[in-house]
């Protein structure tokens, strides 16, 4: 008796998710060029023909892995955007802006820490000049950066931000700094052998430092108070 349609759809989704998880692991370990379809299929426990059936080829599979990351990052950004766009006073209130930036940076750090494979994939892309990423970026969800640009221009004009540099780059650099710290953890552990750099306490200290470092770099120093 044929399997019910709903069951087939459910199995197909489960199979695709397993293949994506396996691909993420293999791409993180070997980069795009070094990853092999056979290895991904073996990691997932499925026949490699299913990769062609669901994703076309290795580049199509890679694109889907990155699109999943993009969706998750977009969900985080949407959450930040709601607060940013609904609070008109943030463009002139240093305390609100500081709280927004701290929350944004901390959340991005937490995401990357919880997704070490994403950190490795991004690091591979950096090392290879983003040559594979640019081939698939057009498939990602289009985002309207103008609202962010407009708000950041207002905040800069109000004297709260140090620079009117491209908003997109300022926001992207937050991810880069968090990513770089996490990618360098093995080196930091070697340089500081008596410290457990991956402990909960050390990660919390690093998170606090990075948040403070970035916010201090982006925001104008508050006026000195004289007692």
Q: What tokens does 202 get? A: 């050390």
How crowded is residue 185: how many other Cβ atoms within 10 Å of its Cβ? Answer: 17
Tell me the domains of the chain and their CATH numbers.
1-56 (1.10.10.60), 67-218 (1.10.357)
Half-sphere exposure of 18 (CA within 13 A, CB side): 15
Q: 10-residue block means of pLDDT along the chain (227 residues)?
A: 42 92 98 97 95 96 95 83 74 90 94 97 96 92 76 92 94 95 97 97 98 97 66
pLDDT at residue number 3 = 42
Residue 68 CA to residue 58 CA, distance in Å, equals: 16
How crowded is residue 58: how many other Cβ atoms within 10 Å of its Cβ? Answer: 19
pTM of full prediction above 0.85: yes
| φ/ψ of residue 161, rounded to 5 | -105, 145
pLDDT at residue number 48 = 93
Residue 203 CA to residue 178 CA, distance in Å, equals: 11
Residue 121 CA to residue 218 CA, distance in Å, equals: 27
Q: Could you tell me which residues are beta bridge partners of residue 132?
A: none
């Amino acid at each position: 008796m044929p399997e019910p349609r709903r069951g087939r759809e459910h199995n197909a989704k489960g199979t695709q998710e397993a293949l994506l998880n396996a691909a993420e692991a293999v791409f993180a370990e070997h980069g795009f060029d070094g990853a092999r379809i056979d290895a991904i299929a073996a990691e997932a426990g499925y026949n490699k023909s299913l990769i062609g059936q669901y994703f076309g080829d290795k580049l199509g599979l890679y694109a889907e892995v990155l699109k999943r990351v993009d969706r998750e990052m977009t969900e985080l950004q949407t959450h930040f955007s709601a607060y940013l766009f609904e609070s008109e006073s943030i463009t002139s209130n240093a305390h609100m802006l500081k709280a927004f930036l701290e929350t944004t940076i901390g959340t991005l750090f937490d995401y990357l820490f919880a997704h070490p494979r994403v950190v490795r994939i991004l690091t591979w892309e950096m090392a290879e000049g983003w040559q594979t990423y640019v081939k698939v970026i057009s498939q990602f969800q289009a985002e309207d950066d103008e609202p962010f640009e407009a708000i950041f221009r207002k905040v800069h004009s109000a004297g709260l931000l140090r620079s009117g540099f491209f908003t997109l780059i300022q926001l992207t650099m937050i991810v880069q700094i968090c990513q770089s710290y996490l990618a360098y953890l093995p080196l930091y552990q070697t340089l500081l052998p008596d410290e457990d750099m991956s402990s909960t306490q050390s990660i919390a200290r690093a998170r606090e430092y990075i948040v403070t470092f970035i916010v201090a770099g982006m925001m104008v120093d508050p006026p000195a108070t004289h007692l």
